Amino acid sequence: MNKQPKSFSALILFAALAAHCAETKFPPLPLEGQTFIHDPSTIIKDGTNYFIFGTGRGILTKSSPDLIHWENGGSVFRAPPAWTMQAVPAFRGFMWAPDVIHVNGKYFLYYAVSSWGKQVSAIGLATSPTLDQSATNFLWSDCGPVITSTNASAFNTIDPGVFLDADGKLWLAFGSYWEGIFLMELNSQTGLRVATNSPLYHLAWNNSIEAACLTRHSDFYYLFVNWGQCCKGTNSTYEVRVGRAEKITGPYLDRDGKNLADGGGSPFLQSSGRFIGPGHIGIVNDGASGPTRFSYHYYDADTQGRSRLAIGMIDWSDSWPVAVNDSTNDWKLVWSDEFNANGPPDPANWNYERGFVRNNELQWYQPENAFCTNGLLVIEARREHAPNPNFSTNSTDWRASREWIDYTAASLTSRRLREFTYGKFEMRARIDTRLGSWPAFWTLGATPGPGWPACGEVDIMEFYTGTVLANIDYGLDGKSKWSTVKKPIVELGGEAWSKEFHIWTMEWDEKKIDLRLDGKLMNHFDLAEADNADRSNPFHRPVYFILNQAIGGNCGGDPAQTKFPVRFEVDWVRVYQHDGGSGK
């Protein structure tokens, strides 16, 4: 966060340099929900959710199950700790530029206490054993100031950036204007400075510099900093610069070999179009392998310059960080059902299956067990007793040999209404994981002619007897083939997991299908595996959706001791496509 005025210089390139003159332009990846934030922290994962913190009264919080859909959380502090007013008399309650890290079983949250344009500042620390606000042990504890600055200091103690090295040492970079960015070692047990007189290392300087972020890749440490002026909406001139060092304490040199402490810094990210003043880089900390993701904010010209969260990717191919867009995430929303209108589901989107249908399941499907209320589609299974209208005494078909209906539920299908070829299909939902419950969100091939399994089946979400499944089934030269991945609920979080909403995703293109749960890959399938001898493949043809709540049957388990109703609650179903997809 910029605290000193600076003359405006227009920067119209939102880019990263893969070499001295190479440029790459891209917009941020599309995010949804509550994305307004300023000075975002590192994104960190706790359990199945991602968390981020931002500037605001008491420190703002947000969470996401998948890095795409974001929701607001509560503030860290209801009232500022008493020490803050003592350390910074001009402080007015807005805590700046937090950063967070998980060390030794605790979350360390660092934040700045200051006032605009002043050097009398402090960096504070709060700790909590969890970031899950619904957990019984959730509690932020104030640990007081970590370091302070006065008018006589060489530095300004704001914009903390915390980093845990591979050797277990914990470090804090900080600074804004004055003599620039400094580094000090922290105690990894307490999160506080190792000693009141421990060394401070000078890392970087510029006339307008702040928002340091440290990371390590291969043999180098990398220091990201902001140049320019923030906090002026579309007139902000923030840009991100970078240098690297062989030791964490420096010296950090840019691509041209100039020391960042002498004003060096290679361009990493700058303005483009409506995406103005990108800044406050954070490396996404979720323990995942693969490409490096980073978070930042920008000032959105489409919302009068309000600051928004954004996420990008880093290409390390030449040992320098290059900001790139992940084109595989450049999805366009082509259809959705948000279930916002109370009453029956929209008949333009959904048909119904009726009666006893498959798998010796116990429920009788009927439309009246599906309804929309409070922005949710509810598919409700009930224990109720009625005669089977299709009963036949001598029938060998299980559908007709049952004299009574003991359970009812609903199964919705988009067949002939909403059918798609390729795309990203997503559902946000909460499922009942008690014994007997068998909910599913799945696709079947829509092309007339091929029956099951030749038509192809994808179980984006299936659950029964304590296990979440991600399945792909198809016919291969007359034989049924399955690709199945199972995840026990106890490994996902048990009862607490079952009480929450989650996002299930199918990403499908000409080469593969990926099934994800809360953004984490469950099942990867190469479509070439389903090529038949006659060159047919069901996964190059349109599909339709099925949303159903089954009970018992071949896999669901015995519901006799389960208290009804059993509910499958769907927040939304969405379809995204690239330009190559098709559907209606």
| Contact between residue 121 and residue 151 where contact means Cβ atoms under 8 Å apart | no
What is the spatial distance between Cα 84 and Cα 58, in angstroms, rounded to a whole number? 12
Asked if 210 is an active-site residue, the reply is yes
451 to 89, 119, 493: CA distances (angstroms): 75, 73, 38
The strand pair at 566-577 and 376-387 is best described as antiparallel
Q: Which two tokens stand for residue 168?
A: 């277990």
3-state secondary structure of 538: helix
For residue 358, give every residue at least 6 positions away whose Cβ sits within 8 Å of its Cβ, in sequence order, or none: 553
Helix, strand, coil shares, percent, the chain, to 5:
5, 45, 45
Q: Which residues pair with 259 in a beta bridge?
A: 253
Residue with tokens 């303005």: 271
What is the spatial distance between Cα 273 and Cα 280, in angstroms, rounded to a whole number? 19
Asked if 23 is an active-site residue, the reply is no
What is the spatial distance between Cα 301 and Cα 276, in angstroms, rounded to a whole number? 7
For CA atoms 80, 83, 89, 95, the dihedral sign is negative
62 to 35, 50, 247, 497: CA distances (angstroms): 8, 8, 34, 19
What is the spatial distance between Cα 327 and Cα 406, in angstroms, rounded to a whole number? 50
For residue 554, give every residue at least 6 positions away whose Cβ sits within 8 Å of its Cβ, in sequence order, or none: 359, 360, 361
Catalytic residue among 39, 66, 457, 569: 39
* DSSP conformation class of 260: G
Q: 106 exposed, middle or buried (CB, 10 Å; 0-12, 13-18, 19+)?
A: middle
* DSSP conformation class of 452: T
Catalytic residue among 159, 210, 462, 507: 210
Neighbours of 48 (CB within 10 A): 19
What is the spatial distance between Cα 178 and Cα 158, in angstroms, rounded to a whole number? 12
Q: Which two tokens stand for residue 62?
A: 């947000």
3-state helix/strand/coil string of 235-294: HCCCEEEEEEECCCCCCCECCCCCEHHHCCCEEEECCECCEEEEEEEEECECCCCCCEEE
| Contact between residue 322 and residue 313 where contact means Cβ atoms under 8 Å apart | no
The strand pair at 502-508 and 411-413 is best described as unpaired
**Residue 377: alpha-carbon gap to chain centroid:** 23
Q: 313 exposed, middle or buried (CB, 10 Å; 0-12, 13-18, 19+)?
A: buried
3-state helix/strand/coil string of 35-94: CECCCCCCCEEECCEEEEEECEECCEEEEECCCCEEEECCCCCCCCCHHHHHHCCCCCCE
What is the spatial distance between Cα 232 and Cα 79, in angstroms, rounded to a whole number? 27
The strand pair at 457-464 and 437-445 is best described as antiparallel
| Contact between residue 279 and residue 261 where contact means Cβ atoms under 8 Å apart | no
Neighbours of 343 (CB within 10 A): 8
Catalytic residues: 39, 210
